[in-house]
Amino acid sequence: MSAPSVLYDQPGPRAKQRNIIYTVLFVAVLAGVLWWALDLMNDAGQLEWVKWEPFFADGTTWTTYLLPGLQATAIAAGLAMVIALPIGAFFGIARMSDHRAVRAPAGIVVEFFRAVPVLLLMVFANEAYALFTDIERDVRPLYAVVTGLVLYNASVLAEVVRAGILALPKGQTEAALAVGMRKGQLMTNVLLPQSVTAMLPAIVSQLVVIVKDTALGGAILGYAELLNESGAANSNAGGTSTIAQLTAVAIVYIIVNAALTWLASWLERRMRRSKKSTGAVVGGGMVEEQAPGMHLTGGRSGESGSA
């Protein structure tokens, strides 16, 4: 169903008039809310330029705090993805094993780490590293953040890999078995390489989730990522530019994440059109909010991918 046109008739003269009235009313409500917010800000003295100047007119704030912070965010997110991918692939394939003894433990591990909040994993990793290892203090928060992200995202990626393999046409498996390949060969030479391309959009979408979760490491563990560094910048500017600080930070996150989302859907569109591949795609839609105990795989994956 192509949403907009099917739910209502082609607007006639009266419907057009009504739509204009709705538009005016809606704009009035929005303007009212905006005015109320600006009024609150004005009362609190938050509209003065001195509050905004450190973040929107002072380059040193960006070079000293925000850009190094963004770099730290990128490092944590990149590391987490690079480490989580092979682990996720391993568990995803293990879950599809013919042997119950392999399938069951892999399933338990994946379901467990999908059920536990990533924040708990980070806090635990941080304390455990401090107590049981010699990891230097200045990189410990990074290790803890990456560990938490890897444990959670590997379990999500395991499901993505599974979905990617299941999304491939059955003929691929049948043809491979027909030419006498063994199960291992089938997986490594036929299914996995094709599913990796099919999973690319989902992997890029997962990167958005990871980038957003790095902010937790800043707020709770003090990892010097974007959000945490912006706090130091605010402190240096007097500590009362909070609205400007969070606005600037939100803008950076939105730009980065919107770009990644756009990349994911561009990849997805390109691959759906492509004649060369099998046409199997695991869309970004399946990764965003996954829950333990349910499999968004099989028939539903293509559908939620187009959401």
Partner 1 sequence: MRFSRVLRAGAVAAAATLALAACGGGGDDSGSGDGGGDGGGVSFDNLVIGIKFDQPGVGQKTPDGYAGFDVDVAKYVAKELGVDESKIEFIEAKSPDREQLIKRGDVDFIVASYSISDKRKEEVTFAGPYFVAHQDLLLSADNTSIASEEDLKSSALKLCSVTGSTSAQNVRDDFAPQAQLQEYSSYSQCLTGVESGQLDALTTDDTILAGYAAQPANQGKFKLAGLNLSDEFYGIGLEKGNTELQSAINDAIKKMIDDGSWAKFVESNLGPAGYETPEAPEITETS
Partner 2 sequence: MFDFLDPQEYDLLGAFWVTVQLTVYSAIGSLIWGTILVGMRVSPVPMMRGFASAYITLVRNTPLTVIIVACSLVLKDTLGFTIAGETVEDQNFWLAILGFVAYTSTFVCESLRAGINTVPVGQAEAARALGLGFNQVLGIVVLPQAFRSVVAPLSSVLIALTKNTTVASAIGVAEAAWLMKEMTENESDAILLVFAIFALGFVVLTLPTGLLLGWVSRKVAVKR
Specify whether the CB–CB gap between 194 and 278 falls below 8 A.
yes
Distance between CA 282 and CA 160 in Å, rounded?
7
Give least dist CB 238 to partner 1, A.
Answer: 3
Let me know if 249 is exposed, middle or buried by CB neighbors in 10 A (0-12, 13-18, 19+).
Answer: buried
The answer for 223, left when phi > 0, alpha when psi is -120 to 50, beta otherwise, is beta
The DSSP call for residue 63 is I
Binding mask 74-113 for partner 2 (x = CB under 8 A): -------------------------------------xx-
Binding of partner 2 by 49 (CB under 8 A): no
Please choose which of partner 2, partner 1, none residue 112 contacts, taking the beta carbon within 5 to 8 angstroms, the exact cut-off set by kind: partner 2
Binding of partner 2 by 8 (CB under 8 A): yes
Q: Which residues, 6+ apart, have CB-to-CB distance to 76 below 8 Å? A: 142, 145, 146, 149, 214, 217, 223, 225
Please name which of 68, 55, 1 lies closest in space to residue 236, comparing C-alpha atoms. 55
Radius of gyration of the chain (CA): 24
Q: Which residues bind partner 1 (CB under 8 A)?
A: 44-45, 50, 54, 60-61, 63-64, 130, 134, 136-138, 219-220, 222, 231-232, 234-242
Of the pair 19, 242, the CB lying nearest partner 1 is at 242
Q: Which residues bind to partner 2, rule: CB under 8 A? A: 1, 3-4, 6-9, 11, 15, 19, 22-23, 26-27, 30, 40-41, 43-44, 46, 111-112, 115-120, 123-124, 127-128, 131, 208, 211-216, 218-220, 227, 240, 242-243, 246, 249-250, 253-254, 256-258, 261, 285, 288-294, 296, 300, 303-304, 306-307
